[in-house]
Amino acid sequence: MDFTMLSEAIKVMGKAIGAGLCMGIGAIGPGVGEGNAVGKALEGMARQPEAAGNLRTTMILGCAITETTGIYSLLIAFLILFTL
């Protein structure tokens, strides 16, 4: 067996596992954060329907900011896969 092929296969496998872990762990925070934000916004809208527009705007802005951590983990996963 050619050790060059084996070392290349191990390198590719390590990249795939690293990128998968990066995306898997990096998606936990935004998922929990956005779920929490939407739940609390819905509770606020149920308590005060007249403030629904303001709450919705703030919630969408907060979700967009929260999603940036997921996008950063995607970028890191791409860097792991294609540059290392």
Please state, in angstroms and as integers, the Cα–Cα distance from residue 44 to each residue in 32, 41, 64, following that order: 18, 5, 19
Locate all alpha helices (DSSP H) within 1-84, ordered by sequence. 3-26, 28-47, 52-82
- The domains of the chain, with CATH numbers, are 27-84 (1.20.20.10)
Q: How many other CB atoms sit within 10 Å of the CB of residue 38?
A: 14
Q: How many other CB atoms sit within 10 Å of the CB of residue 19?
A: 20
Question: What are the tens digits of pLDDT across the range 12-34?
Answer: 999 999 999 999 999 998 899 89
Please state, in angstroms and as integers, the Cα–Cα distance from residue 61 to each residue in 30, 33, 35, following that order: 13, 13, 14
Question: What are the tens digits of pLDDT across the range 43-75?
Answer: 999 999 999 999 999 999 999 998 999 999 999
